[in-house]
Chains A and B, each alone.
Chain A
């Protein structure tokens, strides 16, 4: 049933420009660092001489949480708007499909698209590093972690924003919240705050804790959203 819903959701993405957005985020991040390193190439190369790749990745990592949360916000809102736009909920939910499947399908589609963003980011980082002449000693594990660790740590926020986008007709509320969260996510305010997990998941010593907290928290919020979505009245 879940697969049927996803199969259907996949078709609805056609011509919505979502894939463009999925690529825009990571490409933007890479372009920014290309500019940064391009302008101050000699200075930065000297200061990161010990670990050129590490220096590059750390520079990118600073901006991953904000880009990730902006992406989540816009993606969720666009996904939800496909149904909100002409009130397709009443048609969709009167079909023989469980509401949990509908909700989870949207979550899965969003997660897959964000996953693709992370892959693009990894590929972009490699291309940039090679382009800057940092050599072929690729720190592959760190490159993969660069996108995926913050993403996993951001799952509770993804579930929350998706839930809000899907259940509130007025998208201004979740979008405002998403943008505020995105800006705040650049600062490590407090470890217990889910908002800081995307940043800490890459930077902190004990990354595993933030990954586990993200996955678990994401699951909890997702289930809460599903239960609410399954019970609410559709108008």
Chain B
């Protein structure tokens, strides 16, 4: 039996008659990196705020570490680190003082400050006022604050927003290392599938406040199985050759696409083509379809 770190049932939040989140059943197991996906305004941040006790749900239950959030908020929050949307910081204070202001509340050991600054690579900037930091550095300081209390659960709302590619990569590696090195469970939200795809092992997709998909990353990939594109000398003839050997394909201009991507199948297709005298210039895997699947899931039910 898997241990659920976060478990919500029928979680809802209503703002002036409109549901921002409705009937959300979220299940996140220990040691998972859970990617929480959805377009802007789908209810990700609202959900995360409810998980942190920042806003009261209009209905439903939240259990974190197996305890009800409503009753044991403080005990739960002691084991949670969070970063909600754009980073919060005190601009007039240095990075160290920012962390110290939090440390005084959570009672972490003093040397933890330099530890977390080291983890996010801000040790050299520790004494500068934070208002002079770049957005990426502020974001990293936010992650440092989240890590300060050595949490068991890390809740990160769009942590790579506004970062440059190098920064995104850095944060991604940092997050991926969390479950491995510290046994931390991570909930990370994003509106970009491509970003979550590279970190998460479980995904939940939310649309207009409702969870429309929740399963492992592998199963999402399966549903989105890719295709192979081949560029050949004569695509019309090549298609016929493939059809004769029982490999269905479509042609778009000079490209042939076949629906399956396993090695044997592709090798056979290439062998057939070469054997019948076709030149094969390129064989490419098309992975765009995962993004397409995501857009389809997210786009369903939305009028044009």
Cβ 8 A contact of B105, one of A5, A15, A85, A90? A5
- Verify if A14 is at the interface (C-beta below 8 Å from B): yes
Cβ 8 A contact of B77, one of A5, A12, A90, A96? A96
Interface residues on B, range: 20 to 34
In the complex the two chains form, what is the Cα distance from A5 to B107 in whole Å? 11
From B89-97, B235-243, B269-277, B284-292, the one touching the partner chain is: B89-97
CB distance from B18 to the nearest CB of A (A): 15
Whether B55 and A235, one on each chain, are in contact in the complex, defined by CB atoms closer than 8 angstroms, is yes
CB distance from A28 to the nearest CB of B (A): 25
In the complex the two chains form, what is the Cα distance from A85 to B98 in whole Å? 14
Known A8-B101, A8-B102: A97·B89 in contact at CB below 8 Å: no
Which B residues from 56 to 81 make CB contacts under 8 A with A? 56, 74-75, 77-78, 80
Whether A82 and B90, one on each chain, are in contact in the complex, defined by CB atoms closer than 8 angstroms, is yes
- Verify if A228 is at the interface (C-beta below 8 Å from B): no
Cβ 8 A contact of B90, one of A88, A90, A98, A234? A88
- Verify if A169 is at the interface (C-beta below 8 Å from B): no
In the complex the two chains form, what is the Cα distance from A16 to B91 in whole Å? 10
- Verify if A93 is at the interface (C-beta below 8 Å from B): yes
In the complex the two chains form, what is the Cα distance from A7 to B103 in whole Å? 10
Cβ 8 A contact of A233, one of B55, B84, B92? B55
Cβ 8 A contact of A95, one of B89, B92, B106? B106
In the complex the two chains form, what is the Cα distance from A95 to B100 in whole Å? 13
Which A residues from 75 to 108 make CB contacts under 8 A with B? 82, 85-98
Cβ 8 A contact of A4, one of B93, B104, B145? B104
- Verify if B304 is at the interface (C-beta below 8 Å from A): no
Cβ-Cβ contact count across A and B, 8 Å cutoff: 86
- Verify if A11 is at the interface (C-beta below 8 Å from B): yes
In the complex the two chains form, what is the Cα distance from A4 to B53 in whole Å? 20
Whether B106 and A96, one on each chain, are in contact in the complex, defined by CB atoms closer than 8 angstroms, is yes
Cβ 8 A contact of B91, one of A4, A5, A85, A98? A85
In the complex the two chains form, what is the Cα distance from A147 to B105 in whole Å? 33
- Verify if B82 is at the interface (C-beta below 8 Å from A): yes
- Note all chain A residues with C-beta closer than 8 A to B54: 90, 93-94, 233-235
Whether B52 and A96, one on each chain, are in contact in the complex, defined by CB atoms closer than 8 angstroms, is no
- Verify if B225 is at the interface (C-beta below 8 Å from A): no
CB distance from B20 to the nearest CB of A (A): 11
Whether A8 and B104, one on each chain, are in contact in the complex, defined by CB atoms closer than 8 angstroms, is yes
In the complex the two chains form, what is the Cα distance from A231 to B77 in whole Å? 17
Whether B84 and A94, one on each chain, are in contact in the complex, defined by CB atoms closer than 8 angstroms, is yes
Total interface residues on A, CB under 8 Å, equals 28
CB distance from B195 to the nearest CB of A (A): 22
- Note all chain B residues with C-beta closer than 8 A to A87: 86, 88
Whether B97 and A14, one on each chain, are in contact in the complex, defined by CB atoms closer than 8 angstroms, is yes
Cβ 8 A contact of B93, one of A11, A89, A94, A96? A11
- Note all chain A residues with C-beta closer than 8 A to B278: none
CB distance from B137 to the nearest CB of A (A): 14
- The 8 A CB mask of B94-120 against A (1 = contact, 0 = none) is 000100111011110000000000000
Whether A86 and B93, one on each chain, are in contact in the complex, defined by CB atoms closer than 8 angstroms, is no
In the complex the two chains form, what is the Cα distance from A12 to B55 in whole Å? 25
- Note all chain B residues with C-beta closer than 8 A to A16: 92
Which B residues from 104 to 160 make CB contacts under 8 A with A? 104-107, 142, 145, 149
Q: Which residue of B lies closest to A10 (CB)?
A: B104
- Note all chain B residues with C-beta closer than 8 A to A88: 88-90
Which A residues from 200 to 235 make CB contacts under 8 A with B? 231, 233-235
Which A residues from 138 to 155 make CB contacts under 8 A with B? none
6 nearest A-B residue pairs (beta carbon): A91-B88, A233-B55, A96-B78, A96-B77, A8-B104, A88-B88
18 contacts between A and B (CB under 8 A): A4-B105, A8-B102, A8-B105, A11-B93, A12-B93, A82-B90, A88-B89, A89-B88, A90-B84, A90-B88, A91-B102, A94-B52, A94-B84, A95-B102, A95-B106, A96-B77, A96-B105, A233-B55
Binding site for B on A (CB under 8 A): 4-5, 7-8, 11-12, 14-16, 82, 85-98, 231, 233-235
